[in-house]
Amino acid sequence: MMKQMEAEQKTTPVRKMLAHMNDPARINADHREFYYALLLLGNATEQPGADLNGAWYLRNAKIFAKLRQIARPADRVLVVFGSGHAYWLRHFVQNTPGFELIESGVYLQ
């Protein structure tokens, strides 16, 4: 995946790469294929995959909690984080009253 991205960087505009990385279908697939796959790690006594997922959820919940603390009604907020955060941050925005998710793709095309 990294090799493919490095090759694309040589010929693809940054805005197009960002649009692709922020496509909702890709965000969902990346999350499912990585984080949910980690749930398979473990045994009868230890569940490191579940622990990692729990910690990742907590990290993103704290990021969104800080966003809620600083955002005021009618604010437009641009959130820039690594793509691994996209799934949970989108989830919080979409499920929190008073917030509306605006897809970045319309601005990156």
Question: What does the alpha-carbon distance between residue 3 and residue 6 come to, in Å, rounded to a whole number?
Answer: 5
Residue 92: the pLDDT is: 98
Residue 109: the pLDDT is: 74
Widest Cα–Cα separation across the chain: 49
What total number of domains does the chain contain?
1
Determine the structural domain holding residue 54 and report its residue range: 2-108
Residue the block writes with tokens 């955002």: 71
3-state secondary structure of 80: coil
Query: Could you state, in chain order, the average pLDDT of each consecutive group of 10 residues for the chain (109 residues)?
Result: 84 90 93 93 96 97 97 93 94 96 87
Q: Are 65 and 76 in contact (CB under 8 A)?
A: no
Q: What is the pLDDT of residues 70-89, one digit of tens each?
A: 999 999 999 999 989 999 99
Residue 100 C-alpha from the chain's centroid = 16
Question: What does the alpha-carbon distance between residue 16 and residue 21 come to, in Å, rounded to a whole number?
Answer: 9
